[in-house]
Amino acid sequence: MSENLREQLSLLPAYFQGHLLLTLAAITMGILISVPLGVWAEQSARVKRPLLAIVSIIQTFPSLAILALVVALLGGRIGFLPAFIALTLYSMLPIVRNTVTGLESVSGSVIEAAKGIGMSPNQILREVKLPLAMPVIVAGIRTAVVWTVGLATLSTLVGATSFGNYIFTGIQTRNLVAVTVGSFASAGLAVSLDGLVASIQWLLEKRNEAVDSARLRRIRMSVYGAIAIIISVVLYGLMPQPRADFVVAGKPFTEQYIMAGLLAAELEEAGFSVEQRLGMGSAVVFEAIRNGTVDLYVEYTGTVWANFMSRESNPGREGIRNGVIEFLEEQNVTTIGFTGFQNRYALAMRRDRALELGVTSIEDLIPIAAELTAGSDLEFFGRTEWFRLRDLYNMDFANKLTFDVSLMYTAVAERQVDVISAYTTDGRVAAFDLLLLDDPRNALLAYDGMFLASANAAAQPEFMQAINAFIDSIPDAAMRQANRLVDVDGESINVAIEYLRGEMTKN
């Protein structure tokens, strides 16, 4: 077994527990809400149409958007709760719809007979309609189970632990083993839970039949086994966990995984227990440090300036630094210090392509931009920086494509696009021999890395002492090389962390 696979499998119990608890909680809540709603809808045409419309609309919302909206509605709260609420909402459509359909499909003559022999409306529902509709309702629950297990992988983005941790980390750090383990684990869980629900239904249907065949016993034993596993995982999850002293967080890209791991290791060496919440969305993690759910992470001045302060100007590197520090103080977030590296946006081209076109700075692009294709990450073309660049240089590209970051670099390397919005500390800039274009008109912002701490963490001297050691200790080149180890050379995050520690002590 490779080192990588062993490392991934060692994470399995924690991710399995997170994924299972989240899914079970959401499905259980989904059933508790949706079956009564379905019953209500079946009884009242006035309820039925709007209800089915609402649950259908929820379903058509992109699942990521639902997660983001729930986080926003909870005032920026991250972790289990928003993921649980979003997944519950998502599980509702198949259960509500199948409950309505199942109840409606019960034969009218059976219902009339139930009424005619003197059953009350409640008895008709409980003893006749629900049992007869049960196979259809269970089919809806099974659909919801499969959807929910799959969607739960996205909850990683709002800081809940799931198999999605494998997938997002793996995609960002080009670790295919992690992606594969996460996908198989998620698919395996979906198939198992689906089978469990089907088996329970089968056993309930057969409970009155006297025959106790070998098959019945076998299925009964596996259902009991599965339930025992679930109960023990749930009980373990409900046990008061020793709360970690600090929560270190990171956004979903390689540099952030490395920095979070580095900071966590340092705090652990200083004797603290640390929980890592990786792969969180930018706005989510900033909100979390403000309200103290997260204690420490690496942020960038330009991100705070443009995203959280909504500034459209560019006062230069120092101006941004000062403005950001002042803003963070107001937000009750402590700036411990700067990392030493700057990971900003820069337009980049293949060196041979730049030579061919005679380009060294963005100004050189002005006469030819209308014939070039540009690629960016998911957000660059929507940022004020881009609008400012476009206005200051008075140019626009013929085509603008957006990519996942890894694919953006592949696209420029394979000449599918001419220019990309590269990150200055990205290891792939050197690996693919890209030329970073000068920005003489200062359109693009400075992005100095900085260590942000929650007010609570910043009040603890040992914590501050441990992190102070990192201030201004990581130059651009070291960060770029660490990123390159992961993104280009396929090394694990741990190797990159070790490399950075070596570089730092040399400083």
Question: Of the candidates 26, 51, 50, 28, which has an alpha carbon nearest to the alpha carbon of residue 38?
Answer: 51
Torsion of CA 190, 18, 490, 423, to 10 degrees: 110
CB of 34 to another protein, least distance (A): 22
Backbone angles phi, psi at 318, to 5 degrees: -65, -40
Give the residue with the Cβ less far from another protein, 119 or 401. Answer: 119
Query: 350 - beta bridge partners?
Result: 434
Distance CA 350, CA 418 (A): 8
CB of 194 to another protein, least distance (A): 23
- Helix/strand/coil for 476: helix
Select from 128, 141, 193, 285 the one that contacts another protein (CB under 8 A).
128
* Cβ-defined contacts of 68-77 (< 8 Å, 24+): 68/158, 68/281, 68/284, 70/158, 71/158, 71/284, 71/287, 75/287, 75/291, 76/284, 76/287, 76/288, 76/290, 76/291, 77/291, 77/293
Give the residue with the Cβ less far from another protein, 123 or 361. Answer: 123
Distance CA 35, CA 50 (A): 16
Q: What angle do CA 345, 362, 446 make, to 5 degrees?
A: 30
CA distances from 408 to 370, 387, 481 (A): 20, 20, 19
CB of 143 to another protein, least distance (A): 23
Identity of the amino acid at 243: R
Say if residues 182 and 164 touch (Cβ distance below 8 Å). Answer: yes
Select from 123, 143, 199, 360 the one that contacts another protein (CB under 8 A).
123
Give the residue with the Cβ less far from another protein, 208 or 505. Answer: 208
Query: Site mask, another protein, residues 209-228, x = CB under 8 A?
Result: -x------------------
Give the residue with the Cβ less far from another protein, 101 or 282. Answer: 101
Select from 54, 132, 230, 431 the one that contacts another protein (CB under 8 A).
132
Give the residue with the Cβ less far from another protein, 10 or 208. Answer: 208
**The pair of three-digit structure tokens given for residue 129, joined into one six-digit string:** 């309609």
Give the residue with the Cβ less far from another protein, 128 or 437. Answer: 128
Footprint on residues 271-310 left by another protein (CB under 8 A): none
Query: Site mask, another protein, residues 101-120, x = CB under 8 A?
Result: ------x-xx-xxxxxxxxx
CB of 142 to another protein, least distance (A): 20
CB of 203 to another protein, least distance (A): 15
Give the residue with the Cβ less far from another protein, 60 or 208. Answer: 208
CB of 123 to another protein, least distance (A): 7
Say if residues 403 and 411 touch (Cβ distance below 8 Å). Answer: yes
Say if residues 399 and 373 touch (Cβ distance below 8 Å). Answer: yes
CB of 112 to another protein, least distance (A): 6
Cβ atoms < 10 Å from Cβ of 311: 19
CB of 102 to another protein, least distance (A): 13
Give the residue with the Cβ less far from another protein, 120 or 399. Answer: 120
Distance CA 278, CA 250 (A): 5
Footprint on residues 53-112 left by another protein (CB under 8 A): 107, 109-110, 112
CB of 209 to another protein, least distance (A): 8
Give the residue with the Cβ less far from another protein, 209 or 269. Answer: 209
CB of 223 to another protein, least distance (A): 21
Select from 2, 208, 394, 505 the one that contacts another protein (CB under 8 A).
208
CA distances from 306 to 155, 316, 343, 423, 486 (A): 26, 13, 15, 16, 28
CB of 117 to another protein, least distance (A): 5
Classify residue 438 by burial, with Cβ atoms within 10 Å: 0-12, 13-18, 19+.
middle
Give the binding-site size for another protein (rule: CB under 8 A): 18
Give the residue with the Cβ less far from another protein, 121 or 188. Answer: 121
Under the binding rule (CB under 8 A), the answer on residue 399 touching another protein is no
CA distances from 256 to 410, 429, 439, 478 (A): 21, 17, 26, 14
Which stretches of the chain bind another protein, using CB under 8 A?
107, 109-110, 112-120, 123, 128, 131-132, 208, 210
